[in-house]
Amino acid sequence: MLRAIRHKSIHPAFCAFRAFSSAAKEMTVRDALNSALDEEMSADPKVFLMGEEVGEYQGAYKITKGLLDKYGPERVLDTPITEAGFAGIGVGAAYYGLRPVVEFMTFNFSMQAIDHIINSAAKSYYMSAGQISVPIVFRGPNGAAAGVGAQHSQCYAAWFAACPGLKVLTPYSSEDARGLLKAAIRDPDPVVFLENELLYGELFPVSAEVLDSSFCLPIGKAKIEREGKDVTITAYSKMVGYALKAADILAKEGISAEVINLRSIRPLDRSTINASVRKTNRLVTVEESFPQHGVGAEICTSVVEESFGYLDAPVERIAGADVPMPYAANLERMAVPQVEDIVRAAKRTCHRSVPLAATA
Amino acid sequence: MSFSATNFAQPRPVPVEVRSNEKPLSSDSFRFRGPPSFLGSPHSLRFNPIPPFKLAIPHSQRSNASAVTHIANGKMVKSSANLLITKEEGLELYEDMILGRYFEDMCAQMYYRGKMFGFVHLYNGQEAVSTGFIKLLKKEDTVVSTYRDHVHALSKGVSARAVMSELFGKATGCCRGQGGSMHMFSKEHNVIGGFAFIGEGIPVATGAAFPSKYRREVLKEAGADQVTLAFFGDGTCNNGQFYECLNMAALWKLPIIFVVENNLWAIGMSHLRATSDPEIWKKGPAFGMPGVHVDGMDVLKVREVAKEVIERARRGDGPTLVECETYRFRGHSLADPDELRDPAEKARYAARDPISALKKYLFENKLASEQELKSIDKKIDEVLDDAVEYSDESPLPRRSQLLENVFADPKGFGIGPDGKYRCEDPKFTQGTAHV
């Protein structure tokens, strides 16, 4: 049972950043990703970028700003609109030792390339019995933005995480973004790196260690963003922010919530989750994707398999509505989890608890 | 067992006859035959003997495609002083085609005896394409194929033992039994699949060609001139990924050759029923690369084309699309009853068997005797008997092999700041990352 306790945290009620004891800079997620790409490209000449608008347009969401000027068009490739083609080209290049970072303008477009992500990237190391590894990173924004409609709003974490051979990462803060992207680029396996468009502009404090160019985070390890003892709330990506806000509200009502930032959906950090549930005895899983066969379902099963006796209440699963994303603003708000939903779910788990002394 | 290293023949300036553009192409004659025969019955469509070599040079490149023009203007003259191959080359080609043919026949036998299972797609009849192209490659060059990949792997140098064991699903197979018939990988011989989805191999092949250019231009490695061959069929040419890659390969001038093995049938779907314009070689110039059509039942013609296009790619002049008219003598796979193909069509192509054609050429030009060819046949028989015996006796994979090779990173925790795997750090021995 490992806990990543790095700092004391102070939580202002309405915003999601905290002051570090060694207060340092702040950085947006966008800058964190840009700096991570820049540093990895300068450290290893085999790293190159490929995607639509990554070069002259400076990135559709400006994540790759400045990289074309710095590294030239041979390393920052603007592609035609051919997701299947360039995802496959990335895989073929990775077979021969280059380290492509393929950007999908949003992960919804990765559906055009999913054949290559699954069938040629994820499965090749296994099919070739270890002869050919695929050190490729597929990155881009995932999940709902604001008012972009059904075909631009799906969260793909659960679908990619179902496939063995892929690593699936979901950063939340700038520290996550930098550390996990660097780890992904250095990794010898295919990594699906799911960012979130609405987080790109958010500021997070970063320590000097995070700013160091050799900084990287481990894959497969979750982070306990906030410690608590009454209920465990797991979340990833944007929902971590919501969970932290919900934890603040719950704290005022006397419920101490432990918020786990999953960071890595595959491999999933089951040991941290289970250790937390064994401590709090209650679990709420939060995700913004469709509920059926989602990340929350997997976490619930993991806890039932390993820590059933420790549960004092049924596991609560907060997910997006089971509909394609509507366009109207009020409907969209209902289709995505909100902070109040998380608070209500946590309260439900607490009030259902039966105070048996026997369970630890 | 492996075969002699490829003799990389220097491209000889062999002139070849070309039908000029004034003569109506035979394709036009069947396209205008009228709807009933075109749409309904492949039986009444005859693929007329096509000229040895048809060439379409994209307009913008007419001045640049010097090697290709060279072929267009010459004439083929066969005389004893100007043969297409030497004796050694002839025997090498013969041996490779016989290996391919006998291997596939042995696969059929083994399948019906229950030693091989699942999907098995045999290459009988198409050997000229594999041998004609792959025997001109260097070891560092790459071959990407589809599910009909046994013979491509063999031609590239993967041993018959390794391929046969892989088909039997044994631990000594080239992919330790984890790949199977449709997924032949050999890092040593640069055979990178083996893709079951048609069209999937084409972007991967384009990507495999990309590092040659990247290494030359970005990493400044002077000698990086590896070439990639992508083999695929006529059905694939209607797939979107094919066009995406023609575009990008020409756009970035990648050293790749797109080899279409047009055997006219995609399982039971005739190429002529599935394609609006069946002449695939014409699609190259639409993307800015030369398109070449060649008789894929004649290994020498394929080889002549292959020399030019491989040389072109190696020089850095970019990709080429080569359409080889060929035919598979067996069904799509061993499970295919093969009822839709006209027996007359099959008989016509059987008469053009590439192995018989090469034999005839070798005898007529006194390059080999009956005796020498028979001894090669016998040698290959022995190789195959040995391969089957070896595969039979090889062990099945151990149970613990099931969970191996999912990730290159042993426990999935990634790489630390020091560049080593995190799981090697003692503090990380706890934690589960299920691989």
What share of chain A has pLDDT > 90, as a percent?
Answer: 89
Q: How confident is the model at residue B410 (pLDDT cuts 50, 70, 90)?
A: confident
Residue A35 domain-assigned? yes
The domain that contains A157 carries what CATH number? 3.40.50.970
Task: Judge: A128–B217 Cβ closer than 8 Å, yes or no.
Answer: no
Q: Which of A24-28, A254-258, B300-304 has the lowest mean pLDDT?
A: A24-28
Q: What's the structural domain count of chain A?
A: 2
What share of chain A has pLDDT > 70, as a percent?
Answer: 91
Task: Judge: A167–B407 Cβ closer than 8 Å, yes or no.
Answer: yes
Residue A6 domain-assigned? no
DSSP-assigned beta bridge partners for residue A283 = A232
Residue B114: which residues within 8 A CB-CB, separation 6 or more? Answer: none
Domain carrying residue A44:
12-211
* Residue where a domain stops, chosen among A163, A186, A211: A211
* pLDDT 10s digits, B1-55: 333 333 333 333 334 433 344 433 333 333 333 333 333 334 433 443 444 455 5
- Do residues A163 and A278 share a domain? no
**How much is the pLDDT for B57?**
57
- Do residues A228 and A283 share a domain? yes
Helical residues (DSSP H) of A194-309, grouped into ranges: 208-211, 238-252, 270-280, 295-307
> Has A83 been annotated as catalytic?
yes
Q: Give the whole-angstrom CA distance, residue A270 versus residue A100.
A: 30
- Do residues A323 and A343 share a domain? yes
- Do residues A83 and A164 share a domain? yes
- Do residues A47 and A195 share a domain? yes
**How much is the pLDDT for B268?**
87
Q: What sign for the dihedral angle of Cα A225, A230, A232, A237?
A: negative
Q: Does residue B296 carry a pLDDT above 70?
A: yes
Contact indicator for B11, B307 with CB cutoff of 8 Å: yes
Query: Which is it for strands A25-28 and A231-235: parallel, antiparallel or unpaired?
Result: unpaired
Residue A358 domain-assigned? no
Q: Give the whole-angstrom CA distance, residue B169 versus residue B163.
A: 10
Lookup: tokens for B232 = 């695929």
* pLDDT 10s digits, A14-51: 444 444 445 568 999 999 999 999 999 999 999 999 99
Q: Which of B68-82, B136-150, B285-299, B372-386 has the lowest mean pLDDT?
A: B68-82
Q: Which of A48, A98, A218 sits opposite B422 (nearest CB)?
A: A218
Q: Which of B187, B195, B211 sits opposite A131 (nearest CB)?
A: B187
The distance of A324 to chain B (nearest Cα, Å) reads 27
- Do residues A187 and A45 share a domain? yes
Chain B positions in Cβ-Cβ contact with residue A276 (cut-off 8 Å)? none
Q: Which of B194, B208, B415 sits opposite A183 (nearest CB)?
A: B415
Q: Which of A1-10, A94-103, B172-181 has the lowest mean pLDDT?
A: A1-10
Lookup: tokens for B307 = 């020399």
**How much is the pLDDT for B1?**
38
Q: Does residue B261 carry a pLDDT above 90?
A: yes
**How much is the pLDDT for B411?**
82
* Residue where a domain stops, chosen among A211, A246, A264: A211
**How much is the pLDDT for B434?**
39
Chain A positions in Cβ-Cβ contact with residue B256 (cut-off 8 Å)? none
The domain that contains A297 carries what CATH number? 3.40.50.920
Residue A307 domain-assigned? yes
Test the A interface: residue of B166, B185, B228 with most A CBs within 10 Å = B185
Residues 169-188 of B with CB under 8 A from A: 175-179, 183, 185-187
The predicted model gives B294-299 an average pLDDT of: 96
Q: Which of A228-242, B60-74, B274-288 has the lowest mean pLDDT?
A: B60-74
The predicted model gives A191-201 an average pLDDT of: 97
Task: Judge: B416–A216 Cβ closer than 8 Å, yes or no.
Answer: yes
Q: ω into residue B194 within 30 of 0, thus cis?
A: yes
- Do residues A259 and A190 share a domain? no
Q: Does residue B73 carry a pLDDT above 60?
A: no
Q: Give the whole-angstrom CA distance, residue B13 versus residue A333.
A: 71
Helices then strands (H, E): number in chain B?
Answer: 15, 10
Query: What DSSP letter does each residue of A265-291 carry, written as one string?
Result: EETT-HHHHHHHHHHH--EEEE-SS-S
Residues 386-415 of B with CB under 8 A from A: 404-409, 411-415
**Interior angle at CA B234, CA B9 and CA B53, nearest 5:** 45
> Has A116 been annotated as catalytic?
no
Q: Give the whole-angstrom CA distance, residue B228 versus residue B244.
A: 17
Q: Which of A31-35, A251-255, B171-175, B412-416 has the lowest mean pLDDT?
A: B412-416
Angstrom distances, CA of residue B197 to CA of A116, B104, B224, B260, B278: 10, 21, 30, 15, 21
Chain A positions in Cβ-Cβ contact with residue B251 (cut-off 8 Å)? 80
Residue A1 domain-assigned? no
Chain A positions in Cβ-Cβ contact with residue B202 (cut-off 8 Å)? 88
**How much is the pLDDT for B55?**
58
Catalytic residue (choose from A39, A40, A52, A83)? A83
**How much is the pLDDT for B54?**
58
| Average pLDDT value over all residues in chain B | 83
Q: Does residue A355 carry a pLDDT above 70?
A: no
- Do residues A299 and A322 share a domain? yes
Q: Count chain A–chain B contacts defined by CB atoms under 8 A.
A: 207
* pLDDT 10s digits, B191-244: 998 898 989 999 999 999 999 999 999 999 988 899 999 999 999 999 999 999
* pLDDT 10s digits, B304-317: 999 999 999 999 99
Lookup: tokens for A52 = 């639509």
Angstrom distances, CA of residue A345 to CA of A233, A238, A250, A284: 10, 18, 11, 7
Torsional class of A252: left (φ above 0), alpha (ψ -120 to 50), beta (otherwise): alpha
**How much is the pLDDT for B62?**
45
Q: Give the whole-angstrom CA distance, residue B148 versus residue B194.
A: 8
Pick from B46, B72, B60: nearest CA to B304: B72
Q: What are phi and psi of A240, to 5 degrees?
A: -65, -40
Helix (H, G, I), strand (E, B) or coil at B273: helix
Residue A170 domain-assigned? yes
Residue B78: which residues within 8 A CB-CB, separation 6 or more? Answer: none
- Do residues A205 and A227 share a domain? no
- Do residues A108 and A187 share a domain? yes
Higher-pLDDT residue of B411 and A142 is A142
Q: Which of B214, B251, B414 sits opposite A98 (nearest CB)?
A: B214
Q: Does residue B185 carry a pLDDT above 70?
A: yes
Chain A positions in Cβ-Cβ contact with residue B418 (cut-off 8 Å)? 214
- Do residues A138 and A274 share a domain? no
- Do residues A197 and A292 share a domain? no
Residues 194-233 of B with CB under 8 A from A: 194-197, 200, 202-211, 214, 217-219
Higher-pLDDT residue of B44 and A59 is A59
Task: Judge: B431–A165 Cβ closer than 8 Å, yes or no.
Answer: no
Chain B positions in Cβ-Cβ contact with residue A85 (cut-off 8 Å)? 203, 206, 241, 244-245, 247-248
Q: How confident is the model at residue B413 (pLDDT cuts 50, 70, 90)?
A: confident
* Residue where a domain stops, chosen among A211, A241, A265: A211
Residue A7 domain-assigned? no
Test the A interface: residue of B202, B415, B424, B428 with most A CBs within 10 Å = B415
Q: What is the DSSP letter of A76?
A: E
Q: What sign for the dihedral angle of Cα A58, A36, A236, A91?
A: positive
**How much is the pLDDT for B209?**
96
**How much is the pLDDT for A24?**
67
Q: Which of B195, B414, B434 sits opposite A120 (nearest CB)?
A: B195
Contact indicator for B194, A127 with CB cutoff of 8 Å: yes
Residue A109 domain-assigned? yes
**How much is the pLDDT for A22?**
52
Q: Which of A75, A129, A272 sits opposite B178 (nearest CB)?
A: A129
The distance of A221 to chain B (nearest Cα, Å) reads 8
Test the A interface: residue of B405, B420, B430 with most A CBs within 10 Å = B405
Please tell me which residue of chain A has the smallest CA distance to B418: A214
Chain B positions in Cβ-Cβ contact with residue A186 (cut-off 8 Å)? 414-415, 419
| Average pLDDT value over all residues in chain A | 91
What share of chain B has pLDDT > 70, as a percent?
Answer: 79
